[in-house]
Amino acid sequence: MDISAINRSVPVATAPASVTPVDNSASNRDVVQAVKALNGTEMFGENELTFQKDPQTHRMVIKIINRNTQEVVMQIPPEYVLQLAEDLKQNQG
């Protein structure tokens, strides 16, 4: 095989990469349906799973909430992590 005949001075034409807008609505809908299905199975007992966007940091927060008392049993990320992120954001800006 002879590769010496390749002309390296000819520019290689490449097609521009097409940019496809990301449609998050389908993904969000899937997450909502999955959470409803999990909560419907009562897998968490008297607790329910929620996904919310934190208003200050705009990050997703997962909470397990007691259905009877509305007390937050567990939160990911914890409140102190959200506060640290907000403090860092304010110090940089």
| pLDDT tens-digit series, residues 19-67 | 555 567 777 788 888 888 888 887 888 999 998 888 888 888 999 999 9
91 band by pLDDT with thresholds 50, 70 and 90:
confident
Domain that holds residue 34: 26-92
* Residue 2: inside a domain: no
* Residue 42: inside a domain: yes
Q: Indicate the residue type of 76.
A: I
* Residue 33: inside a domain: yes
* Residue 13: inside a domain: no
SS3 category, 4: coil
Whole-model pTM? 0.61
* Residue 77: inside a domain: yes
Domain total in the chain: 1
**17 phi and psi, to 5 degrees?**
-70, 130
Partners of 72 in the β-ladder = 65
Strands of 1-93 (E only): list them: 47-53, 60-66, 72-76
* Residue 19: inside a domain: no
* Residue 32: inside a domain: yes
* Residue 21: inside a domain: no
